[in-house]
Amino acid sequence: MYLGVFEMVVLVTLIGCATGVISDYFATQRKTAKAMKPEELDDALDRIEELEDRIKVLEKIVTDERHTLAREIDGLNQR
């Protein structure tokens, strides 16, 4: 089969376009696969809430007066 210049240009253009479309398709599939599932997102949000609560407690301990901190530590040691 003999291809003229016009047919060759059309064929190369089609191959280039098809390669771009296929590449974009697989890139989208990878991004979709990396996205969190709803259950994972709920678990992550719960964990974030727990960590925020712990940070609030630590902030309270750090900002209290020194003698109050000592009493709280002693109270924890006695438990």
Residue-range domain boundaries for the chain: 1-35, 37-79
Which two three-digit tokens encode residue 56? 């609030």
pTM tops 0.85, yes or no = no
Residue 21: the pLDDT is: 92
Distance CA 9, CA 3 (A): 10
Mean predicted confidence (pLDDT) in 44-49: 92
Which spans in the chain are helix H? 5-34, 38-63, 66-78
End-to-end CA distance of the chain: 90
